[in-house]
A = this chain, B = another copy of it.
Amino acid sequence: MTEFSFTVDAADGKARAGTITTAHGKVATPAFMAVGTAATVKAMQTRDVRDTGTDVVLGNTYHLMLRPGAERVAELGGLHTFMNWPHTILTDSGGFQVMSLAKLRKVTEEGVAFQSHIDGSRHMLTPERSMEIQALLGSDIHMQFDECVELPNTREEIERAMRLSLRWAERSKAAFRGGPGQAPFAIVQGGDLADLRLESARELVDMDFPGYALGGLAVGEPQDVMLRVLDETVPALPTAKPRYLMGVGTPDDLLHAIERGIDMFDCVMPTRAGRHGQAYTRFGRLNLKNAGHAADPAPLDPESACPATRDYSRAYLHHLVRSGEILGMTLLTWANLAYYQQLMAGARAAIRDGRFAGYAAETRAGWAKGGEG
């Protein structure tokens, strides 16, 4: 049986390159996890997701519990089998999405009662039910149930939610039902307030989780606030455990966070942008809807190993986007995921070579120069 583990293989300043091992394989960190909300990375085949270098897909407990249902997925062999992704899966706890998507929410000490945004049916999520659902889905990493508040917010509200999340962390850890190679992760809360973040981190570290996430960021605050919170909080987390910055971010966010010692990311940005005609490339972000691309025979990046990035002209992508063709969404999503993974692979190599700062600077210079874009 494979045990869940994390090793730091190289460090460069606070940045580190490492390896997470789960029941479904190895994850090279820093890792970008592709968002696979409803048991699909939208518009993508899993084979192509894998070919971008993606090691982890993220599934959303909130979506999956409502449709098709966690017990249904379990009967069908678990989420890996269901969606044909035999590699590592991380599931969130449902805590964040129940607050942003569900109707008629009521938060109590016990958990959150809510109505489905799909059909209005009534449900209850508690730390125990969230961990049960994640065990039924069979994901490799189970996130603790937490409450995440928007920023800016009052100290009282941030503190209340942080303390509730600490109590839910304890209940989540007790309710964790994973086997070998599976692990529960804690989520540090505390908004943009250093003392609350440190208190949350300290308490969670005492609980000795196999991994630590930073939640409640990328919820509307400016980038410099997020980076300040990382500067203040990451040093309080154990060196030997993976650190996951939830819901982040732009390519520039990723470089900043890696520099500050973050190991894992997830974000809808590359996939959502791909469905809306936007491409992330070495040359910056391009809007393929733009008429300037209509006659351009160049691919997004001739040097890319990704077929979507390399084998189709910008003129063709422009045509597909303008025509509302599904293939346009597929190719741009694929190209974006490939670029995010290329960025991470470059970061890992640079950390191993002790030149991460130079890599980040060169990468940003490429975006600024544009040129090919």
Residue in B43, B47, B82, B307 whose beta carbon sits within 8 Å of that of A313 in the complex: B82
Q: A294 interface residue, CB < 8 Å from B?
A: yes
Give the CA-CA distance A323 to B72 in the complex, in Å. 15
CB–CB A312/B84 < 8 A: yes
> Which residue of the partner chain, among B45, B316, B320, B323, contacts A327 with CB atoms under 8 Å?
B45
In contact, A44 and B313 (Cβ under 8 angstroms): no
Partner of A40, one of B42, B67, B327: B327
Is A350 positioned at the interface, with any CB of B under 8 Å from its CB?
no
Chain B proximity mask over A54-86: 1 for CB below 8 Å, otherwise 0: 000000000000011000100111000011100
B295 touches A72 (CB 8 A): yes
Docked-complex contact B75 and A295, CB < 8 angstroms: yes
Tell me, yes or no, whether A311 is within 8 Å of chain B by CB: yes
The range of chain A's interface size is 35 or more
Using known A-B contacts A42-B326, A77-B297, A297-B77, determine if residue A316 contacts B83 with beta carbons closer than 8 Å: yes
Bound form: Cα–Cα A72–B307 in Å: 23
> Which residue of B is nearest A318, CB measured?
B68
Q: A186 near B: Cβ within 8 Å?
A: no
Q: Which residue of B lies closest to A320 (CB)?
A: B40
Q: How far apart are the CA atoms of A307 and B82 in the complex, in Å?
A: 14
A295 contacts across to B, CB distance below 8 A: 72, 75-76
**Inter-chain contact A45/B330, CB cutoff 8 Å:** yes
A319 CB–B CB distance under 8 Å: yes
In the bound complex, how far is the Cα of B325 from the Cα of A77, in angstroms?
Answer: 21
Find out whether the CB atom of B39 lies under 8 angstroms from the CB atom of A316. yes
A38 within 8 A of B: yes
Report how far A330 CA is from B40 CA in the complex, Å: 12
Point out the residues of chain B lying under 8 angstroms from A313, CB to CB. 76, 82
Chain B CB within 8 A of A329 CB: yes
Q: In the complex, what distance in Å separates the CA atom of A122 from the CA atom of B320?
A: 23
CA distance A81 to B173 in the complex (A): 55
Q: Taking the complex as formed, is A322 at the interface, i.e. its CB lies under 8 A from any CB of chain B?
A: yes
CB interface residues, A 323-356, toward B, < 8 Å: 323, 325-327, 329-330
A279-316: which residues lie under 8 A (CB-CB) from chain B?
A: 294-295, 297, 307, 311-313, 315-316
Contact A325 B38, beta carbon cutoff 8 Å: yes
Determine the chain B residues whose CB is within 8 A of the CB of A325 once the complex forms. 38, 40, 42
Looking at the assembled complex, report how far the CB atom of A248 sits from the nearest CB atom of chain B, in whole angstroms.
25
How many angstroms from the CA of A348 to the CA of B185 in the assembled complex? Answer: 57
Report the minimum CB–CB distance from A28 to chain B (whole Å).
26
Q: Are B38 and A323 touching (Cβ within 8 A)?
A: yes
A330 touches B326 (CB 8 A): yes
Contacts of A297 in B (CB 8 A): 75-77
The 8 Å CB contact of A326, one of B47, B68, B323, B329, is B329
Task: Select one of B77, B312, B315 contacting A72, CB under 8 A.
Answer: B315
Taking a contact as CB atoms under 8 Å apart, the answer to whether A42 and B76 are in contact is no
Please list the residues of chain A having a beta carbon within 8 angstroms of any beta carbon in chain B.
Answer: 38-40, 42-45, 47, 67-68, 72, 75-77, 82-84, 294-295, 297, 307, 311-313, 315-316, 318-320, 322-323, 325-327, 329-330
What are 6 pairs between A and B in contact, CB < 8 Å? A40-B327, A43-B330, A45-B330, A68-B318, A82-B316, A84-B312
Known: A39-B316, A39-B319. 12 other contacts (CB 8 A): A38-B319, A38-B325, A39-B320, A42-B327, A45-B327, A67-B322, A68-B319, A72-B315, A76-B295, A76-B315, A76-B316, A77-B297
